[in-house]
Chain A
Amino acid sequence: MEFSDFKFKFIDQFVGEDISTISEDSAFRQLPSWDSLTAMAIIAMIEDEYKVKMTIDEMKELGTIGEVFTFVSSRQLS
């Protein structure tokens, strides 16, 4: 699992967002297009692409793309 690939798929769930400024440390909940639907789309993407089931509550604990990437990586290993 490559971070660059993960980041691309993650950012793809943000509708109408200027993605050039988003980095590993960006607090994605601060982005203007963020809302609960975006969270659902990210959870669905992670399940489809990485076969990792994540709950809405687990998602709420994570603030940056890097943190989500670490979470998914660790679940894939376990």
Chain B
Amino acid sequence: MHVYLRDIAYYLPEKALFNKEISTNFLEWSEEKIFSKLGINERRIAGENEYASDLAIKAAEKLFEQGACSKTDIDFLLYCTQSPDYLLPTTACVLQDKLGLRTNIGALDFNLGCSGYVYGLSLAKGLIASGMAKNVLFITAETYSKFIHPQDKSNLAIFGDAASASIISAQRGLWEISEFIFGTDGRGAENLMVKNGGVRHPEYSGQNEFTDEGQWKKNDNNLYMDGAAIFQFTTSSVPGLIKETVALNNITLQDADWFVFHQANKFMLDFIRKKIGIPPEKFFTHMENCGNTVSSSIPIALREGLLSGQIKAGQKIILAGFGVGYSWAGTLLK
């Protein structure tokens, strides 16, 4: 059975954080340096009383306004987030009610970060190909800003909050979803982590830790990212992921019209693009105005590519998601 990605919408919160503000607080970083390294000028930050599920609702409502599908058509809801409202219930149940979806549908959360969009497409495709669902609403939403320590300049500069909503169904749409390659390596779990606040370490008892040079390093209450380890993981795993994804789908690198990867940051994407040998004109990036939006970065890039007319329905697009876990996955849209 052919399964299609029919439409995508996304939502960014209103409050903006510009490079200027970051360079004012961290004098060693100029506005220009942040932009030339990260390719990011602005990231959006959820309001104090605004949570990932609020962004999720806004993205889904936009999707329904775009008209590809109505609320009553939805018979399964998948919600990808690492910023759930509660430990339980699953936020997807709350979203079903707030969005006014039918009650005779399936709904569940799954916890993935930067690989989440590709994983969600695979789950949605499986539900439809097996005949268990006809129209899957797949939402991604993240508010990493709430996890980031105010002295953590790297993560402040990289991550932005956002949500996306996609419809996957057997009805013809923008692209057919092809075959998937998956990867998991939990040895990297501690390199990108929010340690405290879960069941294993429930107390927010973290202390600020500093480097030998006296720079702020980490606090277990907050998001921790070992940039060097993540760089090494990405540069060693993504080229193989792309090679396998291309081979599994019986195409060559040259056959692909576009490569849309998780929008980690410009520096890392440039490095892996060169390593794989992808020409810059086929490598779509969109993070200048929103930063790294975790599981929403691929759908935001796809939507912006469509809106600008660069990416077109039916083109061959290689997607790759990779990050926290470690977790990675790739597929072909065509």
0/1 interface trace, chain B 21-35, chain A, CB 8 Å (1 if under) = 000000000000100
Q: Which residue of A lies closest to B39 (CB)?
A: A15
Q: Which of B232, B266, B267 has the most CB of A within 10 A?
A: B267
Interface size on A, residues (CB 8 A): 14
Q: Which residue of A lies closest to B272 (CB)?
A: A44
Complex: A56 Cα to B211 Cα, angstroms: 15
Docked-complex contact B267 and A37, CB < 8 angstroms = yes
B228 within 8 A of partner (CB): yes
> In the complex, which residues of chain A have a beta carbon less than 8 angstroms from the beta carbon of B231?
37, 40-41, 44
Docked-complex contact B275 and A56, CB < 8 angstroms = no
Complex: A44 Cα to B274 Cα, angstroms: 12
Contact residue among B33, B36, B266, B271 (Cβ-Cβ distance under 8 Å from A41): B271
0/1 interface trace, chain B 222-246, chain A, CB 8 Å (1 if under) = 0000011001100110000000000
Contact residue among B228, B235, B236, B266 (Cβ-Cβ distance under 8 Å from A15): B266
B270 within 8 A of partner (CB): yes
> In the complex, which residues of chain A have a beta carbon less than 8 angstroms from the beta carbon of B268?
37
0/1 interface trace, chain B 265-289, chain A, CB 8 Å (1 if under) = 0111011001100000000000000
> Which residues 18-70 in A have Cβ within 8 Å of B in the complex?
32-33, 35-37, 40-41, 44, 48, 56
Assuming the contacts A15-B36, A33-B33, asked whether A44 and B267 have C-beta atoms less than 8 A apart, the reply is no
Docked-complex contact A36 and B267, CB < 8 angstroms = no
Complex: A13 Cα to B232 Cα, angstroms: 15
0/1 interface trace, chain B 49-91, chain A, CB 8 Å (1 if under) = 0000000000000000000000000000000000000000000
Docked-complex contact A44 and B33, CB < 8 angstroms = no
Docked-complex contact A40 and B232, CB < 8 angstroms = yes
Residues of B within 8 A of A (CB): 33, 36-37, 227-228, 231-232, 235-236, 266-268, 270-271, 274-275
Would you mind naming 25 contact pairs between A and B with Cβ atoms under 8 Å apart? A12-B274, A13-B271, A15-B266, A15-B267, A16-B36, A32-B33, A33-B33, A33-B36, A33-B37, A36-B227, A36-B228, A37-B37, A37-B227, A37-B231, A37-B267, A40-B227, A40-B228, A40-B231, A40-B232, A41-B267, A41-B271, A44-B235, A44-B271, A48-B275, A56-B228
Residues of A within 8 A of B (CB): 12-13, 15-16, 32-33, 35-37, 40-41, 44, 48, 56
